[in-house]
């Protein structure tokens, strides 16, 4: 039978104008699908924009609604006369897995990527009535699923498609629960976020609805117990009885998923609906709270929609029927229950049971397959044996806010209100309700979000004397006013300043007089309230400072005598000059510094640096060091002025501290900064030059921006000899440095300069120092001690500096002593040479002895690496009696040695194996390889010591192998 689709599937929702609020919530449209000859469907399923239709002949059609109604034709592997007519089909929410059950108890499985249904031999003879798909919605396999059957059993199975011919699709099938003799007409399973492996399972029969909640096993493997076996054995269900034995259809429906929704619907809990002979029991699938009593809470909050509450059917005479027939099918949308009653689709709201749809769709006597819900795409369908209808939803939640508003659930109504008019209606009604209950503060917050006339709300609070509520209302209103409403925002903000000041003065008066307020709050409570209100004002002034007119606000606050609030407002609007001038005039230095440290404008620091440096230098420098946008050169006048006023030591001088910070931490290259620091160091009243010397040594003139000539003049002006010498040395004038040191009789200083001089001029400088020393002391002993200090000088270099009357006999003893020292040194060198010769001979004898050394290898000796017999191939034996095959030892050395040595060993092995070098070249490579590999034992040498952190038991070994 060929099937010819129409011009393509067009969703019914596309025919609707979404902007038309008069459209009904649900609209039933026939889907245009044409077939080459009349069709007779026996079963159907809908999921993920796919419709599955089954014919009595065993043919299955898969219609893809996303691809313009593309149809895929599939046949069962056996004829209907052999396996029976298809009685039910079950499609998972992703439309990936299809279960097919026939009238003769045959069951088949079809994956979306396959066109050949596979028989489920382990399920043969099982009449499946319902399926609980795994909540993870897998596509490769079904994971663990539950099957409800016609005989009241619940089975668990795991189906995984396979290309192997002899492999079964189902890994296992296990009966996990018996619900009695009645059929299981509905089953649902999902996980709970309360704890790991927590599950909820709903099992529906015509008479009972069971709610199981508890912990299931984590995994089920082939051949092992199913994950729900112990779950059903140990968890006692919560039970809801039907209470009626009247005949009628019975089924379980779950609301669509919320992933594709937005707003409040996206976080709403899913719902369930149980159709029985009594009517429809619906409720929320709660996920929070204790798992043990979850079922009881679900059923206690559930509500019953009796079937008698549905609108009656119309008899052929045109009058309503006396009795209401039961529904034959039912599905659940996000907010409504859709039932099929005598060919009519009846939709009722789950909140107030209001009927939103009552439309006759089927002709009298026309047979249907039931209502179907696509829980992934949130679409709804009615399928008959010949036709397909879509029940399109148009803004399904648009009236939810009205229902919740009528129930005085104002918060929920506000969440579901869609536009400004709806939100305003909710806010106004909520505010009026709170005012009538005397909850003025709560009403103020609600009124602030409403469009109720401003003057009405304000007069309401004024007439009732609720100034706190008025203040809260104005705050809320100010937050909702648009930025373009400048005048309104300025007026409301000014009114709020007046209310805040009045409230603060009122609380101050209460605290001062220690009287009780009319509201019954005592003075102690007023102190806490005063702090709260003051903090509120500060937050208000900070947040809305752009809406406050500065002049008006100053006048209002000053008229109430609120100095603290006045200063805070000035700070909030960044009127720093006002605040700083205020505190400086009153010599309140800590307060001035507190204001200054919150500023970032450089001009403010330059303006007040001089006066603050004179009174609070340490604290000011702390603040300056936290500012990275300042120009230190503009602070130099203040620093120099401070230096002229203070007489503290350099270690406590705050100008020095700041300049050092600028140089070391900020890496300043400003010549003015460096020259200023040098001038302060040089002009200090102390004679200690250590600080200046440390700076000059750390900042040589060649690498620093300061003026070396200026620094040298300053040091000479203030007689800083060591610093002058350091500058001369740094500038490469060691001769001038030595001359200056000798001129001030600084022999040791001159000697230190001579030590660091270039070798070419070093002896000349030492001779100048020696001349100075001999002329000052004119003693032979001093000359000889100086001779020992400088190895470049010899005794003959010093003789010309002695006076003419000095005789050689005067230092003959010293000369002899020096000569004896030279002789002893020569003897010591000879002794060292003899010892080295003896050691070399001993080493040569040991090397000759090693050439004849051997090791005895037992016949059964094994390699310590591979544990195989040692003599089967080339091996190494070490003096420690450890033996290894050559290749095993090479591999171990490569593993333990460094990257360079390991790479060289692999290169040599490759060259030897490939015969790159012939003859003697190959022997040389082999010797080098032997030296690298056999240099040391890998078990007891340095290589083994480096492996001290390697565990004795490797990951591939078991502990039992090490048992004693």
User: Hey, how many other C-beta atoms are within 10 angstroms of the C-beta on 437?
Assistant: 10
Q: Decide if pLDDT at 916 tops 70.
A: no
For residues 463, 464, 465, 471, the Cα torsion angle rounded to the nearest 10 degrees is -90
More confident residue, 230 or 900: 230
> b or e along 624-634 (b: 16 or more beta carbons within 10 Å of the residue's beta carbon)?
beeeeebebee
pLDDT of residue 340: 93
pLDDT of residue 339: 94
Percent of the chain with pLDDT over 90: 20
- How does pLDDT run across 595-625, given as a tens digit for each residue? 888 888 888 888 888 888 889 998 989 988 9
Query: What are the strands of the beta sheet with 271-275, ordered from one edge?
Result: 251-254, 271-275, 279-284, 303-306
pLDDT of residue 338: 94
* Beta-strand runs (E) in 553-604: none
Lowest mean pLDDT across 658-662, 671-675, 933-937: 933-937
Kindly indicate the confidence band of residue 14, based on its pLDDT and cuts at 50, 70 and 90.
very low
User: Hey, how many other C-beta atoms are within 10 angstroms of the C-beta on 71?
Assistant: 17
Sign of CA dihedral 421, 427, 431, 432: positive
Q: Using DSSP bridges, classify how beta strands 118-119 and 107-111 pair: parallel, antiparallel or unpaired.
A: antiparallel
- How does pLDDT run across 822-831, given as a tens digit for each residue? 788 888 889 8
Q: What gap in Å lies between CA 597 and CA 590, rounded to an integer?
A: 11
800 close to 782: Cβ distance less than 8 angstroms: no
The alpha-carbon radius of gyration of the chain (Å, integer) is: 50
Q: What gap in Å lies between CA 197 and CA 675, rounded to an integer?
A: 75
Which tokens sit at 231?
């779950």
pLDDT of residue 131: 96
pLDDT of residue 518: 46
Q: Decide if pLDDT at 360 tops 80.
A: yes
Which residues, listed in sequence order, are joined to residue 320 by a DSSP beta bridge?
314
Output helix, strand, coil percentages for the chain, rounded to the nearest 5.
Answer: 45, 20, 35
Q: What are phi and psi of 891, to 5 degrees?
A: -60, -40
Reduce the DSSP state of residue 177 to 3 states and report it: strand
Question: Phi-psi category of 248—alpha, beta or left, where left has phi over 0 and alpha has psi -120 to 50?
Answer: left
Q: How many angstroms separate the first and last alpha carbons of the chain?
A: 78
- DSSP code per residue over 288-336: SS-STTHHHHHHHH-EEEEGGGSPPPBPTTSSBPSSPPPPSEEEE-SSE
pLDDT of residue 428: 76
Which tokens sit at 314?
């119309």
25 close to 59: Cβ distance less than 8 angstroms: no
**Mean per-residue pLDDT for 362-372?**
89
Q: Decide if pLDDT at 698 tops 70.
A: yes
CA proximity to 553, closest of 309, 944, 690, 540: 540
- How does pLDDT run across 550-563, given as a tens digit for each residue? 889 988 988 888 88
Q: Decide if pLDDT at 155 tops 70.
A: yes
pLDDT of residue 15: 37
The structure tokens 């059993």 sit at 153
Q: Decide if pLDDT at 516 tops 80.
A: no
928 close to 900: Cβ distance less than 8 angstroms: no
147 close to 226: Cβ distance less than 8 angstroms: no
Q: Decide if pLDDT at 796 tops 60.
A: no
Containing H/E element for 155? strand 153-159
User: Hey, how many other C-beta atoms are within 10 angstroms of the C-beta on 343?
Assistant: 18
pLDDT of residue 1: 36
133 close to 145: Cβ distance less than 8 angstroms: yes
pLDDT of residue 909: 79
Q: Decide if pLDDT at 156 tops 90.
A: yes
Containing H/E element for 357? strand 355-360
User: Hey, how many other C-beta atoms are within 10 angstroms of the C-beta on 648?
Assistant: 12
Q: Using DSSP bridges, classify how beta strands 279-284 and 271-275 pair: parallel, antiparallel or unpaired.
A: antiparallel
Q: What gap in Å lies between CA 260 and CA 35, rounded to an integer?
A: 33
pLDDT of residue 910: 82
Mean pLDDT of the chain, nearest integer: 82
Q: How many CA atoms lie within 13 Å of 145's alpha carbon, on the beta-carbon side?
A: 26
762 close to 750: Cβ distance less than 8 angstroms: no
More confident residue, 18 or 578: 578
pLDDT of residue 474: 86
Query: What are the strands of the beta sheet with 86-91, ordered from one edge?
Result: 86-91, 97-102, 107-111, 118-119
pTM over 0.85: no
Q: Decide if pLDDT at 432 tops 90.
A: no
Q: What gap in Å lies between CA 588 and CA 606, rounded to an integer?
A: 19
More confident residue, 436 or 797: 436
**Mean per-residue pLDDT for 739-762?**
75
For residues 898, 899, 902, 908, the Cα torsion angle rounded to the nearest 10 degrees is -140
**Mean per-residue pLDDT for 770-791?**
64
**Mean per-residue pLDDT for 410-433?**
76
């Amino acid at each position: 039978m060929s099937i010819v689709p129409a011009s393509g599937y067009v969703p019914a929702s596309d025919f609707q104008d979404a902007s038309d609020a008069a459209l009904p919530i649900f609209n039933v449209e026939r889907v245009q699908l044409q077939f080459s000859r009349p069709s007779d469907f026996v079963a159907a399923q809908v999921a993920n924009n796919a419709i599955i239709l089954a014919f009595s002949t065993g043919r299955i059609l898969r219609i893809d609604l996303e691809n313009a109604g593309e149809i895929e034709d599939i046949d069962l592997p056996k004829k209907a006369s052999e396996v029976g007519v298809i009685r039910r089909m079950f499609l998972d929410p992703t439309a990936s897995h299809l279960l097919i059950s026939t009238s003769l108890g045959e069951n088949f499985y079809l994956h979306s990527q396959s066109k050949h249904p596979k028989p489920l031999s382990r399920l043969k003879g099982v009449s499946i009535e319902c399926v609980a798909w795994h909540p993870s919605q897998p596509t490769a396999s079904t994971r663990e699923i539950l099957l409800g059957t016609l005989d009241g059993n619940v089975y668990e199975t795991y189906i995984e498609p396979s290309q192997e011919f002899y492999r079964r699709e189902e890994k296992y099938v296990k009966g996990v629960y018996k619900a009695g003799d009645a059929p299981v007409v509905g089953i649902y399973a999902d996980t709970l976020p309360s704890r790991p492996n927590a599950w909820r399972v709903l099992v529906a029969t015509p008479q009972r609805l069971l709610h199981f909640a508890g912990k299931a096993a984590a995994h089920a493997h082939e051949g092992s117990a199913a994950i729900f076996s112990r779950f059903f054995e140990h968890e006692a269900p919560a039970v809801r009885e039907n209470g009626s034995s009247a005949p009628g259809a019975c089924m379980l429906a779950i609301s669509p998923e919320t992933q594709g929704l937005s707003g409040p619907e996206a976080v709403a809990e899913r719902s369930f609906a149980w159709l029985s002979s009594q009517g429809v029991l619906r409720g929320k699938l709660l996920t929070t709270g204790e798992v043990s009593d979850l079922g009881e809470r679900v059923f206690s909050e559930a509500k019953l929609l009796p079937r008698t509450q549905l609108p009656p059917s119309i008899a052929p005479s045109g009058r309503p029927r006396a009795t209401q027939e039961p529904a034959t099918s039912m599905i659940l949308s996000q907010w409504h229950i859709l039932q099929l009653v005598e060919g009519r689709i009846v939709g009722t709201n789950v909140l107030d049971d209001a009927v939103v749809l009552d439309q006759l769709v089927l002709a009298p006597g026309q047979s249907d397959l039931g209502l179907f819900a696509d829980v992934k795409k949130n679409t709804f369908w009615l399928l008959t044996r010949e036709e397909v209808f879509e029940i399109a939803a148009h803004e399904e939640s648009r009236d939810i806010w009205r229902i919740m508003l009528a129930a005085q659930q104002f918060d929920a109504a506000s969440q579901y209100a869609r536009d400004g008019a709806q939100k305003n209606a909710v806010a106004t009604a909520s505010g009026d309700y709170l005012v009538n209950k005397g909850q003025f503060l709560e009403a103020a917050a609600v009124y602030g979000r409403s469009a109720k006339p401003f003057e009405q709300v304000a007069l309401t609070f004024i007439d009732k004397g609720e100034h706190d509520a008025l203040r809260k209302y104005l705050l809320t209103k100010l937050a909702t006013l648009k930025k373009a409403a400048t005048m309104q925002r300025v007026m409301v903000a000014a009114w709020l300043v007046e209310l805040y000041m009045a409230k603060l003065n009122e609380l101050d008066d209460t605290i001062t007089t220690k009287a009780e307020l009319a509201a019954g709050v005592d003075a102690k409570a007023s102190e806490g309230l005063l702090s709260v209100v003051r903090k509120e004002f500060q937050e208000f002034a900070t947040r809305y400072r752009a809406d406050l007119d500065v002049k008006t606000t100053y006048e209002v606050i000053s008229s109430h005598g609120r100095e603290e609030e006045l200063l805070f407002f000035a700070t909030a609007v960044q009127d720093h000059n006002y605040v700083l001038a205020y505190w400086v005039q009153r010599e309140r230095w800590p307060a001035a510094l507190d204001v200054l440290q919150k500023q970032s404008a450089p001009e403010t620091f330059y303006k007040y640096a001089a006066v603050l440096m004179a009174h609070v230098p340490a604290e000011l420098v702390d603040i300056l060091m936290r500012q990275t946008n300042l120009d230190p050169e503009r602070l130099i006048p203040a620093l120099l002025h401070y230096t002229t006023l203070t007489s503290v030591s350099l270690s406590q001088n705050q100008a020095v501290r700041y300049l050092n910070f600028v140089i070391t931490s900020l890496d300043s290259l400003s010549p003015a900064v460096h020259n200023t620091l040098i001038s302060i160091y040089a002009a200090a009243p102390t004679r200690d030059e250590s600080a200046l010397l440390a700076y000059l040594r750390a900042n040589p003139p060649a690498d620093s921006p300061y003026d070396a000539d200026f620094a040298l003049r300053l040091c000479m002006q203030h007689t800083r000899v060591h610093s002058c010498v350091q500058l001369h040395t740094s500038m490469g004038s060691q001769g001038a440095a030595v001359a200056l040191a000798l001129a001030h009789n600084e022999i040791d200083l001159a000697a230190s300069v001579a030590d660091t001089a270039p070798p070419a001029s070093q002896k000349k400088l030492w001779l100048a120092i020696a001349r100075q020393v001999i002329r000052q002391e004119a003693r032979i002993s001093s000359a000889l001690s100086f001779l020992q200090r400088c190895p470049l000088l010899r005794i003959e270099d010093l003789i010309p500096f002695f006076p003419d009357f000095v005789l050689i006999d005067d230092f003959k003893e010293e000369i002899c002593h020096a000569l004896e020292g030279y002789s002893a040194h020569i003897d010591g060198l000879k002794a060292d040479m003899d010892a080295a010769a003896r050691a070399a001979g001993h080493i040569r004898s040991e090397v000759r002895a090693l050439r004849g050394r051997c090791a005895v290898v037992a016949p059964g000796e094994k390699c310590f690496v591979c544990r195989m017999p040692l003599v089967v191939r080339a091996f190494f034996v070490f003096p420690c009696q450890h033996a290894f095959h050559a290749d095993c030892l090479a591999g171990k050395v490569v593993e333990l040695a460094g990257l360079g040595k390991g790479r060289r060993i692999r290169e040599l092995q490759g060259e030897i194996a490939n015969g790159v070098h012939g003859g003697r070249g190959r022997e040389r490579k082999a010797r080098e390889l032997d030296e690298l590999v056999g240099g040391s034992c890998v078990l007891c040498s340095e290589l083994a010591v480096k492996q001290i952190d390697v565990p004795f038991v490797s990951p591939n070994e078991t502990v039992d192998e090490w048992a004693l």
